Amino acid sequence: MSPFFVAWSQLSFHRVKLMVAAAGVVVAVMLMLVQLGIRQGAMDNSVAIARRVNADLVVVSPRTKTIFASAQFPRSLLYRAGSSPDVVTIQEMYMSQGRLRNPWTKLEFPVSVYGVDPENPMMHLPGYEKFRSELRQTDRILFDGLSRDNYGPVEQTLEQSGPMDVEVNLRKVRIVGAIRVGISINSDGNIFMSSANFFRLFPSRAPGSVDLGLIQLRQGADHEAVKREIQEYLGAEAKVLTRDQLIDSEIVFIRENAPIDFIFGMGAAVGFFIGFVVVYQILYTEVTNHLPQYATLKAMGFDDRYLLRVVLNQAVILSLLGYFPGFFLALILYRVATRAIQMQFSMTTERAVSVFALTMIMCIMSAMIAIRKVRTADPADVF
């Protein structure tokens, strides 16, 4: 009779106890998956805008830490990049925080404002170019359909009754349509427009300075080499980054400025700890309650190894019984969180596998400690 069979018989003998134990592991698995999922989601959503940049090279001010709070640099510098024969297109991009007034509640809410060229945005904004002729007109903007509800039912209204007027930065503008981009911990909502319209919303901004310069290179150009070349033309007042460097620096910014890793990492650690304690308690009491029987088995010639395998098998059974319900509960919670926080959360294979491994480690660690008790079962005490 295998240690697995003995382990299963022992665990399943008291159904209620087994369910309590499994529930503990379920909670642990769920916590770990949800916390790590939200951490990843918050991170991904925050760099989503940077990821949408299509340009090969990006120029920012050396003072810029994140594009969500960018410092500007002179536009004239950006066009020096054209001296390089590898440069095909140069494009300006503007970003700022504005205030959009909810037309229903008449309250103002912060909104991220993007000035992006309607002809060639050099950003992955599906549907943006469809509106290019409208966007060329004065005070015409696009709304992000995935923005928070703060701004009112804008998307539905657009669908039902077409373009609508709103107030941004105390100026009346017309929303001509909606595209779906997504928000993050940095912004509650997004609006997009041409650079000309951008400056109408921010009259105090100097027209000669840009937030982000986007550069398209000739096919097959060595990005790193061109980057070094352009950096020389631009001097110290502008910094050239590859697209990957831009994304990396955004990630670093979030890591350093939002306690995402700490908060959600700690949530996951608490989950691990809860699971560890519950499993340890269950295994330890199982061993303690059956110490005379274990000692009897040892007296009859079973060695410690057999009994250790019984306890280890119990740990593995508990982790399996806890993992799968925990996994499905986490999937449901991802859905709930996506709806509640209005950011996208999803399960990745990598996370599913690593939390599975963590669950196994958690149960086996508990077993390792509970097992010490098995060694104390003295066969000579049975008589």
Partner 1 sequence: MTESIPNNAVISARHVDFWFGEGELKKQVLFDVSVDVLAGEIVLMTGPSGSGKTTLLTLIGALRRVQAGQLSVLNRPLHDASDEDRVQTRREIGFIFQQHNLLPFLTARQNVELMFELHPEIPRGETRRMTDDLLRSVGLGDRLDYYPARLSGGQKQRVAIARALAANPRLILADEPTAALDSQSGRDVVNLLQELARNRACPILLVTHDPRILDVADRILNMEDGRIQEVRSEH
Token pair of 86 as six digits? 């590898």
Asked if 290 is part of the footprint of partner 1 (rule: CB under 8 A), the reply reads yes
Among 106, 203, 219, 303, binds partner 1 (CB under 8 A): 303
Residue with smaller CB distance to partner 1, 106 or 305: 305
Asked if 380 is part of the footprint of partner 1 (rule: CB under 8 A), the reply reads yes
> Where do the H-state alpha helices sit in 208-303?
223-234, 243-257, 260-289, 291-299
Please identify, among the stretches 53-61, 132-140, 198-206, 301-309, the one whose residues bind partner 1 according to the rule CB under 8 A: 301-309
Q: How many CB atoms lie within 10 A of CB 216?
A: 18
> Bridge-partner residues for 3, per DSSP?
none
Token pair of 359 as six digits? 């669950």
Contact track, partner 1, 87-106, x by CB under 8 A: --------------------
Token pair of 293 as six digits? 């029987």
How many residues bind partner 1 (CB under 8 A)? The answer is 23
Residue with smaller CB distance to partner 1, 13 or 262: 13
Token pair of 94 as six digits? 């503007």
Among 299, 308, 341, 368, binds partner 1 (CB under 8 A): 299
Nearest to 210 by CA among 56, 76, 51, 65: 76
3-state secondary structure 167-182: EECCEEEEEEEEECCC
Q: Could you identify the residue written with the tokens 């399943």?
A: 12
Asked if 293 is part of the footprint of partner 1 (rule: CB under 8 A), the reply reads yes
Q: Cβ 11 to partner 1, closest distance in Å?
A: 8
Asked if 302 is part of the footprint of partner 1 (rule: CB under 8 A), the reply reads yes
Asked if 1 is part of the footprint of partner 1 (rule: CB under 8 A), the reply reads yes
Which helix (H) or strand (E) segment holds residue 109: the answer is strand 108-116
Asked if 383 is part of the footprint of partner 1 (rule: CB under 8 A), the reply reads yes
Q: In angstroms, rounded to a whole number, what is the distance separating the alpha carbons of residues 216 and 88?
A: 5
Residue with smaller CB distance to partner 1, 2 or 83: 2
Residue 262 burial class via C-beta count within 10 angstroms: exposed 0-12, middle 13-18, buried 19 and up: exposed
CA 283 to chain centroid: 36
Please identify, among the stretches 4-12, 21-29, 268-276, 322-330, the one whose residues bind partner 1 according to the rule CB under 8 A: 4-12
Residue with smaller CB distance to partner 1, 1 or 236: 1
* Residues in touch with partner 1 (CB under 8 A): 1-2, 6, 9-10, 12-13, 290, 292-293, 295-297, 299-303, 306, 379-380, 382-383
